[in-house]
Amino acid sequence: MRRFAASFNLQGQNMSTDSWELSEELRLIRDAARRFMQAEVKPVEDKLPHDAYELPAETLKSLQSKAREIGLWCVRTPAEHGGAGLNLLGQAVFAEEAARCRMGAYVPGCGAFGADPPNAIFLGTPYQIEKYAVPAVDVGKKVYVAISESSGGSDPARSIRARAAKKGDRYLLNGTKLWITGADGADWGIVFARTGEQGDRGGITCFIVNGQPKGMSISPIPVIRSYAPYEIHFENVEIPEEDRLGEEGKGFAICEKWLIEGRVPYAAGTIGIAQAALELAIEWARERETFRTKLADKQAIQWMVADSDMELRAARLLTYQAAWRGDLGHDMKVDSSIAKVVATETAGRVVDRCIQIFGALGVSRELPLERWYRELRIKRIGEGPSEVHRMVLARHLLGAGSR
């Protein structure tokens, strides 16, 4: 039985400039996720190699069963399709707690809370939801989303060159996608390709690619972390018409919705990692003695800790604000861009300071800090680099004439 409601009364959130606090429901979710991570996930992860990015199958299955029991399963998936159905603010609160583990930058909770299918699939037909979404939620099938290409991954509206040509009752898909997380061994994926003329937003269509059909090949792209994104090449891959997601030529709206909403838990997860790092550094500063005094007594350390805490508070509130506006139905494009930039850049600075506080131990593999440092560097690029989001904000402030 679920212990948490699938939706929350937004009127219970006080977002005035004087005070603000989470509702009781969200505090329950936060606390439950925190307890689960400490009692169930951390002891298991502590036994794994430093750069591990997945749990042993039987261990994962056991943890997932426990997560289901407390209602923290596929939190972004609508309740009617088997998930917890958290709104964006709930997702942000949960994501921060679920990221507080060594592999948290890759998979929240080490995969214990399931793998939400991309929310775009729930815009599909009943047939598509039943065939693809429901099994993904029920048994945790692996799924990817393929947007980026070598022609400019940060500008999908103009850069998509992969094409899908209609041929009878199916499409022939050709092109190459880059930097695709989770493509290896995935059960299905969502791929964006051009079906019309090259333009800003028109002519892009969304497709579901089932398994690894004939003409599809993937290869890893080594990066600074232990797990690789992938290049996917499509050569005359046949896609049945019933696996087109949404209307032909209207795929950009689906793409944009997925990206904008996804930045909220993405940002919150980086805050969770940085908060965990700061807590480690504070504990160390209280215990470590150099030159006859504790590190905590030295002004240089005090200022690092103080700056980190202030910046994390600000990043958290900006992320919550973006989520809150989205839940109220407001346009949250600018807000999610701000949250993504501030959270990812803050997290990188905080972890860097924490490494400095630990000294040589900070870059050793005895602690998760050096792994977080590498993986958080990627977070400033993924989901749109900081420069693109600054451009989004600048255009909003300055108007269309700034283009």
At residue 222, φ and ψ (nearest 5 deg) are -60, 135
Torsion region of 85: left, alpha or beta (phi above 0 gives left; psi -120 to 50 gives alpha): left
Tokens read off for 251: 């795929």
Helices (DSSP H) in 140-250: which residue ranges? Answer: 156-159
Which residues make Cβ contacts (< 8 Å) with residue 159, sequence separation at least 6? 148, 149, 151, 152, 153
| Helix, coil or strand: residue 162 | coil
Give the integer Cα–Cα distance in Å for 195 and 280.
51
Which residues make Cβ contacts (< 8 Å) with residue 265, sequence separation at least 6? 76, 91, 92, 94, 95
Helices (DSSP H) in 288-385: which residue ranges? Answer: 299-327, 333-358, 369-379
Give the integer Cα–Cα distance in Å for 126 and 130.
6
Q: What is the dihedral of CA 200, 204, 209, 214, to 10 degrees?
A: -90
Tell how strand 204-210 and strand 244-245 pair up. Answer: antiparallel
**Cα–chain center distance at 338:** 15
**Cα–chain center distance at 391:** 21
At residue 245, φ and ψ (nearest 5 deg) are -100, 110
Q: CA 287 → CA 281, 311, 313, distances in Å?
A: 10, 24, 25
Clarify whether 383 is annotated catalytic.
yes
Among the listed residues 96, 311, 375, 383, the single catalytic one is 383
Q: Which residues are catalytic?
A: 383
